[in-house]
Amino acid sequence: MTQTDGQAAIRGLDRDLRGQLPGHTLITDPAQRETYACDGLAAYRVRPALVVLVESAEQVAQVVRACARHGVPFVARGSGTGLSGGALPHADGVLIVTSRLRTLHEVRPEDQRAVADPGVINLAVSKAANPLGYYFAPDPSSQQICSIGGNVAENSGGAHCLKYGFTAGHVLSLDVVTPDGEQITLGTEAPDAPGYDLLGAFVGSEGTLGIATRATLRLTRLPQDVHTCLAGFGSTDDAGAATSAIIAAGIVPAAIEIMDALAIEAAEAAVSCGYPEGAGAVLVVELDGPAVEVADELERVEQICRDQGAFEFRAATDAAERAEIWKGRKSAFAAVGRISPDYIVQDGVVPRTSLPEVLREMGRISAERGVRVANVFHAGDGNLHPLVLFDAAQEGATERAEEVSGMILDLCIEHGGSITGEHGVGADKARYMPRMFGPDDLDTMQLVRCAFDPAGLANPGKIYPTPRMCGERPRIVHAADEPVLEQAEVF
Ligand SMILES: Cc1cc2nc3c(=O)[nH]c(=O)nc-3n(C[C@H](O)[C@H](O)[C@H](O)COP(=O)(O)OP(=O)(O)OC[C@H]3O[C@@H](n4cnc5c(N)ncnc54)[C@H](O)[C@@H]3O)c2cc1C
């Protein structure tokens, strides 16, 4: 489609929608549209041709059907906190914003379920469920602002996903508007529905398979007791070894987080968190469950940490002290702004046992390239969040930081990990997908996308480096593969 075709299509769509939706839902003013030009990854900006602030699932379906009629691409947006450019708009497309769909329809302790609109804020589910003894376990650090729809699309995780798992394990069913505007339900409230796990395919699909308009979520019982402790180590190697030793001892903490010396320095500068002086790394461990079990685990965790070289160990005795321990960790990303004018938040994952080696390699790359890297990560999951520091005002600094950032992802792949642990691929990491997957893998994944979205209108340009037309024959690498690929094409 040429730019002129795209603009003509959007004009036709705009006329169409004005006949169907209340005027206040349609944002056409350029300055207002500009406020939606990026998500949490502000390095990429595209002003959408039209923004629709939908107020019901039916309106989502109306907009998507109109997009299908006019051949206009659309992008879903929840709270816009995504860090991989997943909600980056399309210049000739519609941005469908779900932030007005904020009704929490039900909280049902009797079967541990909640039913939420996609724009409901993650933390709002737990706030409503807490008085009944429950909470929503997936807890991205952005949980005060990110939406359930965004969590579903990104299969988001958080500090406590080591024990409780990612969003995928907490979604039972979804109402979805498919890319041709049909309203369907994926999954059921009863376990183990027959047939393909289409709900599983949708969770984590980053808005490329349709738009979720309602979610039935699994609630988790609040633990009887919670203990949080902090251990100071000389190095990330020792902190990593302690992490592995804790898990090997059969203890599954709710969270295990590591911060290295540079991240500690940033957090101290920002919030004076009082972490052990001179630490090369700190480990934050949270244990939850029945009171007797947790008390026993706390003793064992202290012993393990000391055996692995911890020179200081503190356990919080009340909620205020717990918050004090978490303060440094929770402020770490923003705090890095205190020690560097610019930084890239990278997200990669490795098997937990590779952590010490990967961190050492990362240190080598950092020293070799003269680019500082601060590390704050979900150690239990091996989910790294290296913060690559630079000063964009210095010539070539941005390019060097991006190069180091890419090298870190290569390290993750070399060690059997992945280019994203929880922030998704989006627009930003599509270029890295071929480093992890071969052309056949990428073709096969796109066949799934084509099955949902033959016209390719749902969030185009995301996840895949080279989008493939759905009618197109999959790429043939070896003649011997041909029959297999032909079968795949039928699927
Ligand atoms: C400070 C900070 C800390 C963060 N910490 C974490 C963390 O600990 N763990 C983590 O996993 N992430 C984290 N994130 C990333 C981000 O908050 C999550 O990915 C979050 O789930 C995105 O939700 P959102 O509502 O902002 O989605 P958006 O950014 O609006 O959208 C994200 C993606 O979801 C799609 N989408 C949105 N709504 C729908 C819908 N209803 N149906 C289909 N697709 C939809 C969009 O098209 C886009 O591809 C953090 C971000 C920030 C800024």
Provide the phi-psi class of 426: left if phi over 0, else alpha when psi is between -120 and 50, else beta.
left
Residue 486 has pLDDT above 80, yes or no: no
Determine the pLDDT at residue 455. Answer: 95
Q: Is the CB of 25 under 6 A from ligand 1?
A: no
**Is the predicted pLDDT of residue 482 greater than 60, yes or no?**
no
Average pLDDT over residues 42-67: 97
Q: Is the shortest distance between the CB of 60 and ligand 1 below 6 Å?
A: no
For the chain, give the percent of residues with pLDDT over 70: 95
Asked if residue 63 has pLDDT above 60, the reply is: yes
* Per-residue confidence band for 331, with pLDDT thresholds at 50, 70 and 90: confident
Compute the distance between CA of residue 373 and CA of residue 343 in angstroms, rounded to an integer. 9
216 lines ligand 1 (CB under 6 A): no
Question: For the segment 67-80, what is each residue's pLDDT rounded down to a tens digit?
Answer: 999 999 999 999 99
The pLDDT of 350-361, averaged and rounded, is 91
| Cβ 170 under 6 angstroms from ligand 1 | no
Neighbours of 214 (CB within 10 A): 21
Inform me whether the pLDDT recorded for 365 exceeds 50: yes
Quick: pLDDT tens for 400-432.
999 999 999 999 999 999 999 889 999 999 999
Segment 84-90 shows an average pLDDT of 97
Looking at the chain, how many residues does it have? 491
Beta strands 74-77 and 94-97: pairing type? parallel
Atom of ligand 1 nearest to the CA of 212: 42
81 CB-contact burial (10 Å; exposed 0-12 / middle 13-18 / buried 19+): buried
Round to whole Å and give the CA distance between 212 and 172: 13
Q: What is the pTM of this model?
A: 0.92
Distance CA 153, CA 162 (A): 20
**Phi, psi at 54, each rounded to 5°:** -65, 150
Distance linking the first and last C-alpha atoms of the chain: 27
Rounded Cα distance, 13 and 10, in Å: 5
Q: Is the beta carbon of 62 within 6 A of some atom in ligand 1?
A: no
The answer to whether the CB of 423 is under 6 A from ligand 1 is: yes
Q: What are phi and psi of 176, to 5 degrees?
A: -135, 140
Ligand 1 pocket, 460 CB below 6 A?
Answer: no
Enumerate the β-bridge partners of residue 211.
177
| Token pair recorded at residue 486 | 């032909």
Q: How far apart are CA 366 and CA 372, in angstroms?
A: 6
Measured in Å, residue 73 CA sits from the centre of ligand 1 at 20
Q: What is the mean pLDDT of the chain?
A: 92
Other CB atoms within 10 Å distance of the CB of residue 68:
19
> 183: buried, middle or exposed (CB in 10 Å: 19+, 13-18, 0-12)?
middle
pLDDT at position 345 over 50: yes
pLDDT beyond 80 at 479: no
Phi then psi for residue 156, to 5 deg, are -65, 155
What whole-number distance in Å separates Cα of residue 408 and Cα of residue 361? 9
Kindly tell me the burial class for residue 392, based on how many C-beta atoms sit within 10 Å of its own C-beta (0-12, 13-18, 19 or more).
Answer: exposed
**Burial (Cβ within 10 Å: 0-12, 13-18, ≥19) of residue 481:** middle
Interatomic CA distance for residues 381 and 89, integer angstroms: 31
What's residue 330's pLDDT?
A: 86
Q: What does the pLDDT read at residue 233?
A: 97
Confidence of residue 469 (pLDDT cuts 50, 70, 90): low
Question: What is the Cα–Cα distance from 98 to 488, expressed in whole angstroms?
Answer: 35
Give the pLDDT band of residue 192 (cuts 50, 70, 90).
confident
Predicted confidence at residue 471, as pLDDT, reads: 59
* Alpha carbon of 145 to ligand 1 centroid (Å): 9
The confidence score (pLDDT) of residue 296 equals 97
* Percentage of residues of the chain with pLDDT beyond 90: 82
The model's confidence at residue 2, banded by pLDDT at 50, 70 and 90, is low
Confidence of residue 191 (pLDDT cuts 50, 70, 90): confident
Q: Which residues of 88-113 are buried (b: 16+ CB within 10 A; e: fewer)?
A: bbbebbbbbbbbebeebeebeeeebb
Sheet of strand 171-177, all strands in order from the earlier edge strand to the far edge: 104-108, 113-116, 211-218, 171-177, 183-187
Residue 105 Cα to ligand 1 middle (Å): 21
Map 249-313 to HEC letters.
Answer: CCCCCCEEEEEEHHHHHHHHHHHCCCCCCCCCEEEEEEEEECHHHHHHHHHHHHHHHHHCCCCEE
* Residue labelled with tokens 């039900």: 106
pLDDT higher than threshold 60 for residue 231: yes
pLDDT in the model for residue 3: 63
Question: 465 is written with which tokens?
Answer: 């480096």
Distance between CA atoms of 178 and 188, rounded to whole angstroms? 17
Q: How far is the CA of 154 from the centre of ligand 1 (A)?
A: 6
